[in-house]
Amino acid sequence: MKVQVLGTGCAKCKQLLANAEQAVREAGAPAEVEKVEDIQAILKFGVMTTPALAIDGKVKASGRVLSPQEIRKLLTV
């Protein structure tokens, strides 16, 4: 499983990255967490508002910081 945090490095993007890493640890999921900061790469996802979270290449949320609990639910679906 690949979890990607899409954002250019703002405070909200950093918080979403920390929450994603925490969620993966807590879930014990075999997942890789990656930060995507390249604007062109973010646009390829169709994301216009950051931060955004993608799991296995599919955008699950954009424009807000998900809590670790919300991310854990997405990991187990």
Point out the catalytic residue in the list 10, 11, 39, 43: 10
Point out the catalytic residue in the list 3, 5, 6, 13: 13
Contact 1, 55 (CB under 8 A): yes
Contact 62, 47 (CB under 8 A): yes
64 noted as active-site residue: no
47 noted as active-site residue: no
Q: Which residues pair with 53 in a beta bridge?
A: 5, 61
Annotated catalytic residues are 10, 13
